Amino acid sequence: MRDMTTPDRNRVQLPGISSRAYEHPADRSALVAMRSLSGFDAVLKRTSGLFSERRLRLMFLASAVRTTDTQFRALYDMGRDSAYILDLHRIPEIYVQQDPKAYAMAIGFDEPFIIVSTGLLDLMDSEELRFVVGHETSHILSGHAVYGTMLAILTRLATRVAWIPLGYIGLRIIVAALEEWQRKAEMSADRGGLLAGQDPDAALRALMKLAGGSRLHEMNIEAFLDQAREYDTAGDVRDGLLKVLNMLGTTHPFAVTRVAELDRWRRDGEYDRVLAGDYPRREDDANARLTDEIKAAANSYRESWAQSQDPFIGVLRDVAEGAVNAGERIFNRFARREN
C-alpha cells in the first residue's frame, strides 16, 4: 500500500464519503440490497469461473505498463489523487494498455485495478483524464464489479440456453434488468468522477469527446446539450419505441444522455452540497434502509418520466398511471363491500 499525499491541486477531500453520495437512486437501491446479503460477494467469487482476478492481474502485469512514479507519472498521480479525495484506503493500480480504441475500466473484487487504453490517453487532456480516472475509482468505491460479474455470467448462460425458449426468455429479462442497472451505475460513476476531478467543464468535455473524438475546436458543449434535448423530444411514439430498442444489449447510456444527466445533477445543487461536506458517510452504510432506497429509485424514475418530452414515455406514463388508478378503484370497491 502506498502512502497517500495531498493532491497536486487545491481540491476538496471528502473524508469517509459513502458511495451513496453520488449513486443514481436506481443503482443505489440495488447496491444496498446486495450489501444486505451477507457473504453474497464471497459466494460469487468462489462460484464464478468466468472471472479470475489474479489471472487477469498477472495478464496485465505481463502485457501492459503499470503506472508508477517513473512510468506514466501523471496518470499515476491522478490515481493517487482520486483515492485521496474519495478516501479510499488502498490506491488502485493503473495499467496502460496499447489499443487505439478509447476506453477505461475497473476490474477486480479484493484488490481492484484500473485499465486505461493509449487511445484514451491520446484523446483526453489532463483534466479530462482526471475525470475518467475518478469515474473508474468511483466504480471501485461502489463495488460495481459484483453486479458486473453477475451480468457477464448470466449473459454467457443466456447464450448457452438459447435453444430453450422459456429459459432464454427468463434469462434475457434478468439480463435486461442488469443492463439497465449498469447504465445507471455508469451515471453514478460519472458523478463520482466529477467529485474526484472537481472540474465540471472537463467532465462534460470528456463525455462529449467519447462521442465526437479529439477535435474539440469543432464541438460546443451547449450545442451538444441541445442535441440531448432534441433526442428527448424528437419524433413520435414510433421514435420513442426505437430509442428503447436501441438500448437493448447496451451497458452504457448514450453520450448525450450522460452529458445531460451529469449537467443536471450539478445544476440541481447535489455536487456543491457534497463538496460542502453534506453527504452520507461510509460508517452509516449498514444503516441504510432498503425500503427507503427502493422508494427513492421509484421516485427518480417517476420524476424522469414526468420531465421527459418523449411521446412514447408519455404513453407509458399514462398507461402506468391508468393501471394504478384502476387498481385503487378496485381496491376501494372491495373495501366498501367488506364494510
pLDDT tens, residue by residue, 70-100:
999 999 999 999 999 999 989 999 999 999 9
C-alpha cell at 137: 475509482
- Judge whether 110 lies within some domain: yes
Q: Where are the alpha helices (DSSP H) in 86-164?
A: 118-123, 126-142, 145-160
Range of the domain at 183: 19-236+246-289
Residue 89 inside a domain? The answer is: yes
The reply to whether 307 falls in a domain is: no
End-to-end C-alpha distance for the chain, whole angstroms? 68
CA distance 306 to 318: 10
Provide, rounded to the nearest whole percent, the portion of the chain with pLDDT above 90: 46
Q: With 70 as the cut, is the pLDDT of residue 296 above it?
A: no
Average confidence (pLDDT) over 35-48: 56
Residue 1: pLDDT above 50?
no
Q: Hey, what's the cell of 236?
A: 413520435
Q: Is residue 315 part of a domain?
A: no
Task: Tell me the three cell numbers of residue 90.
Answer: 488502498
Provide the sign of the torsion angle of the four alpha carbons 272, 278, 281, 285, taken in this order: negative
Whole-number Å distance between alpha carbons of 127 and 123: 12
Can you give 143-163 as a three-state secondary structure string? CCHHHHHHHHHHHHHHHHCCC
pLDDT value at position 243? Answer: 72
Domain total of the chain: 1
Across 262-273, b (16+ Cβ under 10 Å) vs e yields bbebbeeebbee
pLDDT of amino acid 319: 41
Residue 3, in any domain of the structure: no
- Range with the poorest average pLDDT among 88-102, 255-269, 273-287: 273-287
